[in-house]
Amino acid sequence: SRKRKQHCYYSDPLTKERIVFFHLKTKPFGRWENLADLKEDRIGASRGNTYTDEFWKLAEKGVLNVDVADNDLLNFKKLIRERIDIFPSSRIMGTKLLRENFSPEAASILEYNPKPLTVTTGHLLFPKVRDDSAKLLEVFNEKLDEFKKQGLYDRYMDDLIRGSYSGKNILKIR
């Protein structure tokens, strides 16, 4: 955010994640070109999630039918119970929530549309008030680059998607 950039240095991207629309497999979610194409859908949203400025502006104007819940887990429950039609969530976190909070049968009735609402990046922040932050940022970015060149980054991201770092699986990590 602009506010954070005033006070922090951002590392190179640690993650790049697509925010996609989850939906019931029995209610296919077709092609959409822009957000206004979704005006007929009941869209779940989680309080405090950013999504995009356009998303919230269209919701505010009543162009989008957005039903706000307190968190993503509640929205997935509403989606399974057909109280909403689609729900935007991070592809990785969405599948993680489904895997950890629903039976395999319940989770298997959902899928996501591959077209992202938006793509976000995650960064490590270094506070500008610390004298060593610029140097730490430089060292961190160098090591992150080495990590990626060695193929470790991709291996760990694949493990994350498979659920290797969640709940009871955490002890199985090498």
How far is the C-alpha of 30 from the C-alpha of 81, rounded, in Å? 20
pLDDT value at residue 69: 97
Predicted confidence band of residue 31 (pLDDT cuts 50, 70, 90): confident
Contact criterion met (CB below 8 Å) for 124 and 15: no
Q: Is the pLDDT confidence value at 167 over 80? A: no
Q: Is the pLDDT confidence value at 81 over 90? A: yes
